[in-house]
Amino acid sequence: MPKPTDRELVEAAKGGDAEAFGVLVRRYQRRIFRLAVHMVRNGAEAEDVTQETFVRAYQALDRFDGRSEPFTWIYRIAVNLSLNTLRARRPTRDSAPADDPRVEALLTELHRTSRDDPAEASQQKQLVAALCDGIDALSETLRTTLVLVCIDGVAHDEASRVLGCPEGTVAWRVHEARRKLREYLAGRGFGGES
């Protein structure tokens, strides 16, 4: 039996099938958490954003009109909640904390290539920390777009629907965010390759 589509799951959930909504949660929970952790830069707050995203989506099921994909709708809720979390926080952080969950996640991805070379592993950790600091230095708009497209792999057309802007604007924001990140990293001694 084929897996139900997101739209079928939403329709079933609207009809009172709580398990259908549970399937949607399991399908997107990791991606929503990854988005939130990159935006709010705090594991506990990202967990809160993830949970609240699905609570709000469930409460608003009757208002989902089907003009967008359920994925886009859920992502939009997560982006808004992440931005609200950032706005509510006092701007006291100058750099990524030592226990930044993004650093650990990226290092896990890179670990396969450097497990036998401690010097390379240390250099990668410094690069990843600088990259996280550079992402944090971007404006909310550029950071949000970069996270959606480059980190979470959302296509430009889908990102334009999530962010409510033209696809060309998404492409420009990604280009600008990458340019600023290259400058940021070069200013900290990481660059020259590529």
What tokens does 182 get?
A: 């290259």
For 15, phi and psi rounded to 5 degrees? -80, 5
Q: What does the pLDDT look like over 143-176, one tens digit per residue? A: 889 988 988 888 999 999 988 899 999 999 999 9
The ranges assigned to domains in the chain are: 1-92
Exposed (0-12), middle (13-18) or buried (19+): which is 150, by Cβ within 10 Å?
middle
Report pLDDT for 47.
96
The whole-model pTM stands at 0.73
The string of DSSP codes covering 36-71 is HHHHH--HHHHHHHHHHHHHHHHHTGGG--SSS-HH
Residues present in the chain in total: 194
Q: ∠ at Cα 20 (17, 23), nearest 5°?
A: 155
Q: What does the pLDDT look like over 71-129, one tens digit per residue? A: 999 999 999 999 899 888 765 544 445 455 555 555 555 555 555 667 776 777 788 78
Distance CA 79, CA 77 (A): 6
CATH fold label, 1-92: Rna Polymerase Sigma Factor; Chain: A (1.10.1740)
The three-state secondary structure class of 116 is: coil
Report pLDDT for 127.
81
Distance CA 17, CA 110 (A): 41
